[in-house]
Structure 1
Amino acid sequence: MSKLLLVIRLLFTAQLLYVAIDFSTRTVLSLAAVLVVFYVTQEPKKTDHEAGDNPFRARTKSGEVVSTSEDAVPEATVASYRQQIAEFVLSADDPVEASAIHHFLPVQQHTECIFAKSARLWGARDWNHHLSFEENVERSIPALIKFCAIGLHCQLDGFVFELPSSTFGTSPEVFGRGVRRLLTCLSDSDPAGVHCMRRSYIGGRGWFYEFARTPIFVTTFAPCYADNHSRHAFGVDGCFVLLQPEYSFAAKNLPADTPDTNWTNPQTVRDRIRVAYRQAGREYIVRDTVYYSPALDIVKPLAVDTDEVVQWWSNTKTD
């Protein structure tokens, strides 16, 4: 287009020179015609956007349009939208008002643990039967991450998950499969990347459960246990997995674990708890050593007078 305009201009310029000697009416008209042509054929001026001055288009120094990464976004903007996302996710349900907390209350109020009644608990989101097992668990991971982050400062004692008893409450073995899936799902999403449920020595010494760098003591309760069992659910039709951070025990000055118990004249907190369970008819086996994996006691067998182990972590049956 620019070449065509140049040719037109040259032709009219030549005509002007041709008649320049005879300054006549014809010459004047020709000159006017040339001026009109120059005005009409002038290229339109580019706008700021067309000239490359659009401030909303990302360009390199050479003018090439490129896409920008988050590295170019101000830190304050990144922090702001991340905070908004976190608040949106965490506001979905109040872990203090979760149904799991209310369903677990009879266990909390009737168990012989002397710390239970005053324990401050959070609960997982209500179970949605339209979702898969793992999807249900994953819905509560943001709240569990927050729990582990602020629990020590807010004096929180435990986080409760409730599994549907119709699916997992018939026996310790079936319950164990649910516990394994729950703890594995959480472990696979561990923000610290430890993934403790993928260890090869879960049933051996040195293993313990942890999430977000928080060592956790895991206790379970289910309706399959009779009223003479320490994991009795006190008539509640629910299967519960209670995650207790180890700092909660330390905050209560619980003494170091020991296989020894003063049954006749309890002296320590551990003595009093063990005696209370015995007096209530729910005595549990106290191992003769403290050097064993806590996994051995996460899911208990039905028998109360045996050291049999439910190997819930290695269950290979179809879930």
Structure 2
Amino acid sequence: MPPSKPKPAPKTNESKLAKLGLRSDMDLVLHLPMRYEDETQVIPIREASLRGGHVSQVEGVVVKNEIAFRPRRQLLVTIADDSGDLLLRFMNFYGSQVKQLAEGTRVRARSELKHGFFGAEMVHPAYKVINEGAPLPTSLTPVYPSGEGLSQPILRRAIAEAMKRVDWRDTLPPALRASLQLADFEPAVRLLHYPPQEIDENALIERSHPAWVRMKFDELLAQQLSLKRAQVARRAKGAAVLKTTGALSEAFLDALPFKLTGAQARVLKEIRADLRQAYPMQRLLQGDVGSGKTVVAALAAAQAIDSGYQAALMAP
């Protein structure tokens, strides 16, 4: 992606964002949600109570607020709407929450609803203090990977601000996007941060949605380009040019009580070609246990010795 300028952010949050590797606008824009919450609808408390065991979002006015001490210190807040009432239970809370959830306050709460000793309740729900008639979100609410001291609202604000400033130029040519049927970069990113209510949520969760496919392609492309750059950098370094074969290599092959397999012979040919170059090989040879990797390594060592160099071979 095009480089972006470091984002301006409050110093109190800047270091916390940096710990997550979020140092630029593009870093923030590409910090994609790990899941979503549906806050686009509110259901009556009675209906939520009948659903029991499911995550629901309700809205009501605080009719009771008290701190209980049995069996442990906890804040108990009862909210009510026209259909019924609901207990919000907070085991860990701050003094500011007691004031924030004072009687008469309108609250929108979201959590799994359970049936306890005192009836329907939510334990540690996510909640917002709102005004009557406050609009509902029109898209699913993103939940981001976070760190210590970084709340979801802080991350959402930082990402939203970064999206206003970032350079949205698409690095993939239109013809390539069309031939590979890839989504455009900006719409794909915006959709992942703010998916519409009617979107296929399973495709988002499974990361099979076209927007996720574009992100995966970009990530793989960036990885391959990085490897290619590293390869070019390695080739700028010098290495001894080794001749293809010699007396030791030939004697080693003749002494083997078996013939090399087709795969072994092919890989040996590739390695010998690499060792004739004036830059480091840096090759990784993969294969199952017992597939014959060690003999190939020994033949490569013999090639070095035939060229007048020393070689070391370690094997388990």
TM-score band by shorter chain is under 0.3
Q: Return the structure number with greater strand share.
A: 2
- Which structure has the greater CA radius of gyration? 1
